[in-house]
Structures are given as C-alpha cells and as structure tokens.
C-alpha cells in the first residue's frame, strides 16, 4: 500500500511539473511607472521574463546591490527579451512605492528592465501564484510558461554566493533562445513573502 501511494505521489508530482512546463501564461494588463499600459499579448512572439521584486527585501537587495540583476536584465534585453519587473506590494506595505518613487529607485539602482509594472491590488501576482521576492517566470515565444521559481540555487542574502550559484533564469533563457527544451522548468522560489 505504501509503495502504491508513493508511486501515485510521484506520478502526481511528475504531472504537475509537466503542466508547469507546458502551461499557458495567464494574460494580464498592468500600468507601468510612466503611465503606459502593457498587456502580455503585446509581446506575442517575444521571450518574456517576469520578475517579482520588493526593494525592501534583503533577498532582492542581494541581487541588486552589486549590479547582478541589472547585468542579467541588460544581457537578455540586448538579445530581444522583454523583461517586466512587477511590484505586487499593497499600499502601506513594504516595497510599495508611487510611480515616481519606483522610477527614482530604478534610476538609483540602474535597473535595466524593459518596464516596471505596478500591481498594488495583487491580481496579477495572485494569478501567477507569485509568493516571494524575487519570484521569476520565463515565457516563451508561444506564450507558454517554461520556467517558474527561484532565480538561483543559493537561498541566501549574501551577494558573494551569486558567483557560485546556478542561475535557473539564465539557464532557461539560454535554452529558449537556442530553441532547446528548458531542463529545469520549476523550482521553489525563495525570498521575502510578497506583501499583498
């Protein structure tokens, strides 16, 4: 009985991972910090990264303090990838800023995202089940969600760990851009909870 239950659990997990690999990314429309609307459908035929962030979170600080996230953004936007940074912090909670505040922070940090999108009511965050900052998603040219989860495999707030970590987002993007299958399609994201 135990072996049968174990087999059912493994089959269910395999099925869920397969679904994550082939699932269509939920449609959304959000306004950026300059007042422009962006819909996921606007980027049909493009590879898209969704990055949930909160600059008050030490796990986000880890990736921004020495320019690692900014460099990653630049590398892939230079290759035609659309990089959308999303803040789902509710008004009055950590990470929430006005549009002007987000722009000032982005300028100070040298952010290279295509756009910074505001999701203060949390609708898009909940649609994607974004749980942490950072929480990362890669969407292929067909609108399929091919990666979701942690940015890398080092669950720490120490920027020094980045050099020896496996960056899942980079690996997924390199595979998609090369027309190959993404080897790791889902991981458990780490970081601060999204402040809905």
Q: Tell me the domains of the chain and their CATH numbers.
A: 22-193 (3.40.30.10)
Q: What is the residue-averaged pLDDT of the chain?
A: 91
What one-character-per-residue DSSP string does 114-166 give? SEEEE-TT-HHHHHTT--EESEEEEE-TTSBEEEEE-SBS--SS-GGGGGGS-
Q: Of 103, 72, 99, 86, give the one whose Cα is nearest residue 28.
A: 86
pLDDT in tens, 88-146: 999 999 999 999 999 999 999 999 999 999 999 999 999 999 999 999 999 999 999 99
Using the Cα atoms of residue 96, residue 149, residue 192 and residue 123 in order, give the sign of their dihedral: positive
Q: Hey, what are 75's tokens?
A: 């590398």
Q: What share of the chain is helix, strand, coil (3-state, %, to 5)?
A: 40, 20, 40
Residues 65, 132, 78, 167, Cα dihedral to 10°: 80
pLDDT in tens, 84-98: 999 999 999 999 999
d(CA 181, CA 175): 6
SS3 7: helix
pLDDT in tens, 143-171: 999 999 999 999 999 999 999 999 999 99
């Amino acid at each position: 009985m135990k072996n049968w239950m174990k087999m059912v659990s493994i089959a269910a997990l395999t099925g869920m991972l397969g679904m994550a690999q082939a699932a269509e990314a939920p449609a959304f429309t959000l306004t950026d910090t300059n007042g422009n609307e962006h819909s996921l459908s606007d980027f049909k035929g493009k590879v898209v990264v969704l990055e949930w962030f909160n600059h008050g979170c030490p796990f986000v600080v880890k990736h921004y303090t020495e320019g690692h996230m900014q460099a990653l953004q630049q590398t892939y936007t230079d290759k035609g990838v659309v990089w959308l940074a999303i803040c789902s912090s509710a008004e009055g909670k950590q990470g929430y800023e006005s549009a002007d505040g987000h722009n000032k922070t982005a300028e100070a940090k040298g952010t290279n995202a295509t756009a910074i999108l505001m999701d203060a009511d949390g609708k898009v965050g909940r649609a994607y089940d974004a749980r942490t900052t950072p929480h990362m998603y890669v969407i292929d040219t067909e609108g399929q969600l091919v990666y979701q989860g942690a940015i890398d495999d080092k669950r720490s707030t120490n920027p020094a760990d980045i050099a020896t970590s496996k960056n899942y987002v980079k690996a997924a993007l390199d595979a998609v851009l090369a027309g190959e299958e993404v080897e790791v399609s889902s991981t458990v994201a780490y970081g601060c909870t999204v402040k809905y």
